[in-house]
Amino acid sequence: MGAKASMQLQEEEINEIQNETGFSPNQIVRLYSRFTNLDKLNNGFLSREDFLRIPELAINPLGDRIVHAFFQESNDETVNFKQFMRVLGRFRPIKINVEKNKLNTREEKLKFAFRMYDLDGDDKISREELLAVLHMMVGANISEEQLGSIADRTISEADIDGDDHICFQEFVRAMERVDVEQKMSIRFLH
């Protein structure tokens, strides 16, 4: 299967993806093989259903939001391999003393995390959006009252301008002490 994947990807495409995402050519070829395995229609695109067949996403409480992020990249009903790789590029670990790739910087990782909460895409997180994501993450394990209290406290602590929403700058400030680089990194195919 690896040989098939490498034959379908042209060297110039691999170089372009490597420059944009920071993945090695070997990682790109192996991820292409996984991409083609998910592509049940064998048309070079993935649908939401293709993503939801990934067991780790199917059981992840934020699986739908993660899948949604891939489709924000494409602004379409399908995702091609380059779009797929751009989203994955945000999860590459940042290596010390190595030139950072623009997709896996702290700011890009925070933008991605912010979009997980910004359900309506208006560039701010409301109490209702925060509650909805908290519901996704904890289900029925915490009472409505406790969730409301967590949402209220989070908004009041992060909302600097007093508009009862969290904008991206406020989100960044609230996440200052969080090791986003580590928490939003996945080790890819060594």
pLDDT value at position 99?
52
- Domain spanning 2-89: CATH 3.50.50.60: no
- Please state the rounded mean pLDDT for residues 29-52: 92
184 within 8 A of 115, measured Cβ to Cβ: no
What is the model's pTM? Answer: 0.79
The class (CATH top level) of 102-180 is mainly alpha
pLDDT value at position 188?
58
pLDDT value at position 163?
97
pLDDT in tens, 165-174: 999 999 999 9
Average pLDDT, rounded, for the chain? 87
- Do domains 2-89 and 102-180 share one topology? The answer is yes
- Please state the rounded mean pLDDT for residues 16-26: 91
Read off the pLDDT band of 97 (50, 70, 90). Answer: very low
Q: Residue 8 above 80 pLDDT?
A: no
Please report where in the chains the tokens 């969730």 appear, as a residue.
147
> CA-based Rg of the chain, rounded to a whole angstrom?
18
* Residues, the chain: 190
Please report where in the chains the tokens 């090791």 appear, as a residue.
179
pLDDT value at position 6?
42
- Of 2 and 75, the structure prediction assigns the larger pLDDT to 75
Concatenating the DSSP letter of every residue in the chain gives: -HHHHHHHS-HHHHHHHHHHH---HHHHHHHHHHHHHH-TT-SS-B-HHHHHTSHHHHHSTTHHHHHHHHHHHHTSS-B-HHHHHHHHHTTSPPPTTSPPPGGGSHHHHHHHHHHHH-TT-SSEE-HHHHHHHHHHHHTTSS-HHHHHHHHHHHHHHH-SSSSSSEEHHHHHHHTTTS-HHHHT------
- Please state the rounded mean pLDDT for residues 13-35: 93
Q: Of 19-28, 155-164, 165-174, give the lowest mean pLDDT range.
A: 19-28
Task: Supply 115's token pair.
Answer: 């979009």
Q: What are the boundaries of each domain within the chain?
A: 2-89, 102-180
Task: Supply 71's token pair.
Answer: 């489709």
pLDDT in tens, 132-144: 999 998 988 899 9
